[in-house]
Structure 1
Amino acid sequence: MQSIFTSSYLPPVQFMSHWVNTDEPIIEAHCNYAKQTYRNRCDILGANGPISLIVPVIKGRRPKVASKDVEIAYYERWQDLHWRSILSAYKSSPFFEYYMDDFAVFYEKQYKFLLDFNNELMQVILDALDINKDLKFTEKFDRVLADDILDYRESIHPKKDYSQLDLNFKPIKYRQVFSDRYEFIPNLSVIDLIFNKGPEAIDLLEDSILK
C-alpha cells in the first residue's frame, strides 16, 4: 500500500513509524507550504525539557508557495544554534558519537531549498535505520487521494494530538538521556530514538504501529 507524507525536518517518531510500516512511502512535493508544521520543525529533549528547533524560511510576497519551492533563510545563524542544541542534548547518549558525523555536515553546508535539505537528512536517517526504501515524490498535487492510499499529510502535525487522531500509533517507551529528570516524553524527533537506541531503533518503530 502507498502512503503519502509531507516533507519533514528530522521527523517525529510517529512519522517514521508509519514510514517503515508502509509498502511504498511517498513525499508530497507539490502541496502549498504551511507554517507551524514538521516541514521545518523538530522537537528534541534537552536538559531543561523539550526544545523545538525551527528552520527559518524566506517569506515571499506570494500567499501560496509549493513545498518544493520554499527556500531556507540564513539571516540568522540557525545552523549553529541547532547543532549546539543537538550536541548538548545527545552528547552523552549511547550512540551519538557513532552517528554524529553523518548529521553534523548538514549544519555546515547551506542548502537553498528546504525540500532538498529535508530529503538529504531523511536519507541519512534511513541509512541509520538500515531501511532500504528509495525516496519517492509526488508528481502533482491531489487533494483527494484514491481509497487505497493512506494520507498522512495533515494528520501528522505538531499541533494535533496523535493519541486522539492516530489510534494505530502506540509509541514504545525507551530510556532517554534525561530520564532521571523527566518521565518518558513520546514522539520526539526520530534522532532522539536513534541516538538512544542505535540499531534497536528500527524495532521500536516497527512495533509502534498496531497491525
Structure 2
Amino acid sequence: MLDVILHPTYFPNIVHFVAMVKSDSVCFEVCDNYQKQSYRNRTEIYGANGKLALTVPVSYSQKNRQLYRDVKIANEDDWQLQHLKSLQSAYSMSPFFEFYIDDLMPLFETKFDFILDLNFKCFEILQDSLQLELNISESAVFEKEPLNKTDYRPLVKRNYEANNLEKYTQVFTEKHGFIPNLSILDLLFNEGPNTELYLTRQSVNLC
C-alpha cells in the first residue's frame, strides 16, 4: 500500500500527478501554513518564448501567519482572463486543446474567493477529464512527520527539479527543446488519452 500526502496546487505539475496515479490513497494537506514562492498559486506552461508562469494573485501578509485554507484570492486583477488567453496562445495548436478546453472553462468563468477552493475545483475537473479513480481525503491536523504516509509535500516547492521524466512532443519543442514537469495541462493538451499511460511510466524522486 502506498499512501501519500501532498499539497493541492493550481493546475498541478506532472510529478504531482505521477505521485497521485501511482498511490493507493491521496491525502491533501489542508492544515498547513501558507508559504509564498510555491506551486500553491502558480503553474507553468510552455509558451512561444519558453517556460511561462501563470500566478494566481493572493492577499497574503508574511507578518501574520495564515493557514493555507484562509488565504484569499486577490480578484481585483482580471487574472482568469489573462490565464485563459495565455493557455489559448500556448496550446491552440496542440492536438487535444479543443477536446479539453470546454471542461476547464468553469475555472475561468467562476469567481473563487479562496485559493484552496480554486485548487480543489481545478483538481476535480482534471480528475474527471483524465477519468482517474483516486482515493482522496484531506488532512485533519498538521503533522510535521506524517505517520504511515509517504510525504510528497516537498513537491510544492518551486525549486524541485524533475529531470527523470520521459520526453514527449510539445508544441514548441523545435524552438526551445523539451521542458520537463510543466503543468499537467501541457501533457493533457499534447498527449490527450495517452496522459494516464505516460504518468504510470514515470517515477517520483525526492532526492
Q: Same fold (TM over 0.5)?
A: yes
Structure 1 gaps of 5+ residues are: 164-169
Q: State the identity as a percent.
A: 35
Q: Give 1:1-211 correspondences, 5 Å limit.
A: 1-60=2-61, 63-146=64-147, 148-163=148-163, 170-209=164-203
Structure 2 gaps of 5+ residues are: none
Counterparts of 1:145 and 1:76, CA distance in 2: 37
Counterparts of 1:206 and 1:139, CA distance in 2: 29
CA deviations 1:72-110 (Å, max 9, x no partner) are 111211111111000100111111101001112211111
Tell me if the contact between 2:5 and 2:149 (Cα under 8 Å) persists in the aligned partners. yes
Counterparts of 1:127 and 1:173, CA distance in 2: 25
Query: Which range moved further: 54-63 or 67-76?
Result: 54-63
What SS is found at the alignment partner of 2:27?
Answer: strand
| Runs of 4+ more than 4 Å apart | none
Tell me if the contact between 2:20 and 2:134 (Cα under 8 Å) persists in the aligned partners. no
Task: Please provide the CA RMSD for this pair.
Answer: 1.6
Amino acid at match of 2:3: Q
TM-score by length of 2: 0.93
Q: Which has the higher helix share?
A: 2
TM-score by length of 1: 0.92
Q: How many residues align?
A: 204
Q: CA deviation at 1:61?
A: 7.7
Counterparts of 2:155 and 2:105, CA distance in 1: 30
Counterparts of 2:43 and 2:152, CA distance in 1: 17
Query: Which range moved further: 72-81 or 151-160?
Result: 151-160
Q: 1:192 to 1:61 in 2, by over 3 A?
A: closer
Q: CA deviation at 1:134?
A: 4.5
Tell me if the contact between 2:40 and 2:156 (Cα under 8 Å) persists in the aligned partners. no
Tell me if the contact between 2:38 and 2:157 (Cα under 8 Å) persists in the aligned partners. yes
